[in-house]
Amino acid sequence: MIIKVIRGSNPTKLFNYLFDPKKQLQTDKAELLSTGNIQNLIICRTVPGRTIQELARNFRQIARLNSQVVKTIAHYSISVTAADSARIEQAIVYEISRTLLERLGHTRCPYFGVEHHDTAHRHWHLAASTVSYSGEWVCDRFERYRLRQIVRDLEIDFGLELTPIRPTIKVKNLSTGEYRLKQHSKHLLPKEKLWRSLDECLPVSQSLARLVMELRVKHPEISVRLKEQQGQHVGISFEVDGVAFAGRKLGRAYSLNGLKRYHGIEHDDKSKALLDRILTLSHEECRVLYEDMEREQPVNIKEQKSYEVQP
């Protein structure tokens, strides 16, 4: 099971997506387009409303009970494996949804769920107010970490396939907005270009200076910046197509510490001067230095070594 969450403040925009006719069965699509009635599509609810407009109005009314809350809606997407899709009944979908929202603190909040049918595996969405009917805020502190434990508990309680825990080195996630953009554009996103380029250069790099050199020579469209404090490098970021990401935003294995811990990329004070110099060189100067380094000490493929990946 996979559960993702994103928070926002525009109920109409979210609900238009959740009740998009393209994501419904053909029989429900026709009625939705002709009447706008969404009641038959809702799999669980604590809020009235026959149309998107009525639901959105009710969510906004509750949000006004606590004007200090900025992101007033939590959007949870839940998907299960193909094997689980074939055997879980609608009643189980309801129980999973109710249990999830209860564990996350939305029991006394407006919420509803709707299933989508545009993919091979079963998945559904929950929209929950982050303001309760009494005006209390539903705290989202450490929510992503709590979700990991909730997912494992739900899998055990409902007899679902256990989701394998991915090694940190392989964790690469797109946000909900990035997934939508990718579906629309059909092209690699900037984040995906950075993953691909970094994964190409990391196996032949033993040091941060070498990694930056590989990137600058092989992928001149990528810019690398290092954050410095008290004369030491404390962070790294990458930019392509005008979009920049801190290394940790690409994944824990791409932060400055993650590059060392998960990829064996070494960096110390002795190599700082060389790295700072590499970052100031033009592409042509960088290429010449790269060729000189290659003649002096050919690159050793890192696959010939073994590195212990820490959990």
CATH number at residue 31: 3.30.930.30
Return the SS3 of 225: strand
Count of structural domains, the chain: 2
Of the residues 116, 131, 165, the one at which a domain ends: 165
What is residue 298's predicted lDDT score, i.e. its pLDDT? 52
Residue ranges of the alpha helices (H) in the chain? 11-18, 26-35, 52-63, 82-87, 90-103, 143-157, 176-185, 190-201, 208-218, 247-250, 256-263, 269-280, 283-296
Question: Based on the domain organization, do 196 and 236 belong to the same domain?
Answer: yes
pLDDT by 10s per residue, the chain, length 311: 999 999 999 999 999 999 999 999 888 888 888 888 999 999 999 999 999 999 999 999 999 999 999 999 999 999 999 889 988 999 999 999 999 999 999 999 999 999 999 888 899 999 999 999 999 999 988 787 788 889 999 999 999 998 876 676 677 778 777 877 877 887 889 999 999 999 999 988 888 999 999 999 999 999 999 998 888 889 999 999 999 999 999 998 999 999 998 898 988 777 788 888 888 888 888 888 888 877 765 544 343 333 233 33
Question: Based on the domain organization, do 259 and 133 belong to the same domain?
Answer: no
Expressed as residue numbers, the domain containing 108 is 2-165
Of the residues 106, 132, 165, the one at which a domain ends: 165
Rounded Cα distance, 150 and 141, in Å: 15
What is residue 182's predicted lDDT score, i.e. its pLDDT? 79
Contact 63, 72 (CB under 8 A): yes
Question: Based on the domain organization, do 161 and 214 belong to the same domain?
Answer: no
Establish if 148 belongs to a structural domain.
yes
Question: Based on the domain organization, do 25 and 120 belong to the same domain?
Answer: yes
Question: Based on the domain organization, do 224 and 144 belong to the same domain?
Answer: no
Residue with token string 């038959």? 40
Predicted TM-score (pTM) of this structure:
0.60
Burial class (CB in 10 A: 0-12, 13-18, 19+), 290: middle
Question: Based on the domain organization, do 24 and 66 belong to the same domain?
Answer: yes
